[in-house]
Structure 1
């Protein structure tokens, strides 16, 4: 793999680390099967792109994109909590609706950001163009990871983790599970939309279809991270998720550049599906090979809730 391809994989890995952390929040912590990510990712990108073209500061555009993503997650949770629509169906309804919303926001299927400022513009020079963006994205992911670690260790974070692990018991202890689900889903999709906002600034444009497969990528990163670094401590869980996203993008880059395999750019979805399948099977293979080292059987949400720190 060339250095250019490696740095590009790091860029995408850090961006999708934000997506993976959002997916971790909904799927693992809240135990909420959420497909809103396929809509909130392009929603964040569309919002940021339109605002940057309109002259907004790119950082403020990213914050607005995160707020838009939070609104999308809040809508999904509201459909479930207030209207009683099942979780998966509620997220599908929101995802479908967001396709039209994103078209409305951009006013066209795509929007170019070539020549527009980005959050990376103040740091880019001719000498550091290759590594400045990955470094900046890595710092953003680190800040988000540390913020989540602190949140999960707080009283509200512990209550939210209890909500995902055992909502009936949490309600019996006086935990407002409905409000926490609304807030948790908002935060989850805010992170995913933030990833979308950074993605369009790296790619130089937004496209209404760029969210296709986002949830698959996020889940793959979470599963790969759990396989590479199984843990109960919550700060290790978030670290494993970020590392899983980086590993996923590096695997993709390696597969597409392996000439002897014969894969090309149009095979990206095939490679993605194969990697996800392998990631799903690896824990079972690992449990068979090293049964004594395998974690005791429990749901992912329970393992995350039992984590300390």
Structure 2
């Protein structure tokens, strides 16, 4: 049995990014203006310096569309001070408040009644599926081995090496990185006892025809609340206009059926935020289940004993919505 330097468990965007970094030896396109958790904002700052040159290098499309956070009530307008203060704390100085007239000059197709906005020009969208695939493929070309459709059944430590027993065979490695996403807590339990619990959340999206792309000039964000960032109206990197996601706790880590009540709710958001959008055809709807924990910040840890044993747990908690990051 071959022994690997590092075994990365999990093939989502976090796992593929870790694999890429390790294979290269030395996404995320969010400016971090609203990242209140310290680890999250630190990660975003580092990523912002590297992600755009990397995207160009590996051929991932990026659209620097910017974002506009719109206030529809006095309470939301008052919350702008908090958002602006936070953006300064995380060194995102681009955030600028817009008057009502400036807002409608920029986004003339918005629904009536907006009271003001914040413009965040640094926000961008990319292809959320192509990015991890190309990162993994680049790592494979540099010598990394990819194993797909395989479930880890046990993790054990013997001397200075880990053994990962899976449905596709056994693998030995000097270090294990847990990027298990929706199954990260299960992997944590196999390795060293459960340190956190995954709370699956379902997000549903409605996708409109690319013919609607001229209706909005930027991603239209609601003012965030303690429950999350809310439903966004944004243009994908391929110019489809997308409304979503919702944010619902679910029991299943796998199944995410379309909910007709949620479909109607998304249509109401579209009608309220950008009324003209409803005159364009819906081309598809989709859902996904994403991991979250009781904490809002990212989880990247290894306590003293785990670090000595070369086990690292890295988990991006999506209590902070990722749809605006990956569009």
Where on the TM-score scale, by shorter chain, does this alignment land: which range?
A: under 0.3
Instruction: Pick the structure with more strand per residue.
Output: 2
Structure with the bigger RCO (C-alpha within 8 Å, sep 6+) is 1
Instruction: Pick the structure with more helix per residue.
Output: 1
- If the length of structure 2 is used for normalisation, what is the TM-score? 0.23
